[in-house]
């Protein structure tokens, strides 16, 4: 009980005994103590984060979760605006050290030269390892067979991606897909589970309650992680503007020859990195010079630009804020073949 000393405990010169009054050790100490002003602890200052700060923090957390849970991840880097943001997220997550994963691009062989040149230059600037695997390599092995020479190669990237995953033993691919791009991606988890065949089953996905992510897999299975899944196209451009990120030139307004094909603006006579001339005008098509820019980049044969004079990030932000059509809905011809084309490709192993 208070005030009663246990007789079994040894007496201490520093322990108050019962019925002993307490006095300071000396008067000088008492005087010094009285001279110290009693101050109330100040309230901790809190900083209000912008929505970009919250999105960035979430993406950094997801990327670190991948690095912590996965044995051999890889970051998919095409040179497009989303993957450029992913590189900045990786820098903030892991610098000053090296990335705990390499970069990889699945090239169709028909990508825009401006984008592939930017891809190589940016990877060299960061000093990170870049792995490039091409659909053309799969065509030479016979694992990809085109119906005709002019068939778009975008959907065949799934085969090359799965071959690269098997070649290097990757257990997670980090991508820059976003839920606002397309409805199949809108229902995909941040940690998207793929089976041993690389297939995505939207009815067999793991819950992600309270931002708890499960990236664990058995051998042969794979995770596709999407750190910027909750971002919008407007968020991406705002982040690019805030971080002053460099982009391929075709994201900004420029003049090029195009043809109007089934309501879409199709660039014609495009020179591929291999020197091939792609998208030759069809008989009866009129070729015009038009000021355009690309909202998304991919295979030349299925990526269309939009008419625009926005040649700065600020102007693009104004355009993006007022648009009512998603970037893939407006510019990706391969997504317009059917309403389920993206979901079907993802079930086959697409990004």
Task: Note the pLDDT of residue 103.
Answer: 98
Identify which of 130, 194, 132, 190 has the alpha carbon closest to the alpha carbon of residue 157. 132
Contact 52, 60 (CB under 8 A): no
Q: Which of 292, 269, 272 is nearest to 281 (CA)?
A: 269
> What DSSP state is assigned to residue 299?
B
pLDDT digits (tens, 9 = 90+) for 92-105: 999 999 999 999 99
Task: Kindly give the parts of the chain with pLDDT less than 50.
Answer: 1-18, 22-25, 27-33, 335-337
Are the C-beta atoms of residues 251 and 294 closer than 8 Å to each other? yes
pLDDT of residue 245: 97
Rounded Cα–Cα distance for residues 119 and 121 (Å)? 6
Domains of the chain and CATH, by start:
51-233+343-347 (3.40.50.620), 246-335 (no CATH)
The Cα–Cα gap between 192 and 132 comes to 23
Q: What pLDDT, on a 0 to 100 scale, did the predictor assign at position 152?
A: 80
Element (H, E) at 270: strand 270-271
| Model pLDDT, residue 162 | 92
3-class SS of residue 166: helix
Distance between CA atoms of residues 70 and 222, nearest Å: 10
Within a 13 Å sphere around the CA of 121, how many CA atoms are in the beta-carbon half? 10
pLDDT of residue 254: 95
What pLDDT does 332 receive? 53
What is the pLDDT at residue 275? Answer: 79
The DSSP call for residue 3 is: T
């Amino acid at each position: 009980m208070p005030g009663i000393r246990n007789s079994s405990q040894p007496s201490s010169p520093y322990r108050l005994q019962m019925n002993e009054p307490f006095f300071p050790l000396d008067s000088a100490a008492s005087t010094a103590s009285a001279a110290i002003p009693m101050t109330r602890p100040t309230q901790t200052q809190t900083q209000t984060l912008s929505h970009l700060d919250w999105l960035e923090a979430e993406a950094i957390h997801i990327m670190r979760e991948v690095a912590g849970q996965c044995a051999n991840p890889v970051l998919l880097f095409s040179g497009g605006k989303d993957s450029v943001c992913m590189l900045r997220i990786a820098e903030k997550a892991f610098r000053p050290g090296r990335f705990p994963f390499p970069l990889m691009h699945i090239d169709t062989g028909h990508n825009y030269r401006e984008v592939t040149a930017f891809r190589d230059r940016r990877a060299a600037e960061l000093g990170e390892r870049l792995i490039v695997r091409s659909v053309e390599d799969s065509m030479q092995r016979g694992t990809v067979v085109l119906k005709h020479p002019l068939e778009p190669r975008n959907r065949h990237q799934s085969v090359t991606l799965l071959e690269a995953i098997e070649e290097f033993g990757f257990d997670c691919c980090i991508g820059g897909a976003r839920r606002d791009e397309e409805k199949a991606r809108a229902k995909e988890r941040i940690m998207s589970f793929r089976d041993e065949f690389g297939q995505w089953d939207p009815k067999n996905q793991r819950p992600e309650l309270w931002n708890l992510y499960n990236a664990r897999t058995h051998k042969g299975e794979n995770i596709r992680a999407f750190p910027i899944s909750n971002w919008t196209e407007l968020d991406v451009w705002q982040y690019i503007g805030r971080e002053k990120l460099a982009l391929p030139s075709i994201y900004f307004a420029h003049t090029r020859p195009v043809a109007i094909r089934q309501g879409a603006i199709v660039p014609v006579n495009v020179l591929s990195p291999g020197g091939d001339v792609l998208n030759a005008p069809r008989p009866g098509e009129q070729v015009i010079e038009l000021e355009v820019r690309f909202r998304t980049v991919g295979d030349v044969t299925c990526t269309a630009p939009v008419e625009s004079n926005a040649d700065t990030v600020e102007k693009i932000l104004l355009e993006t804020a007022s648009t009512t059509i998603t970037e893939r809905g407006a510019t990706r011809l391969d997504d317009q073949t059917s309403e389920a084309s993206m979901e079907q490709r993802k079930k086959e192993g697409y990004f």
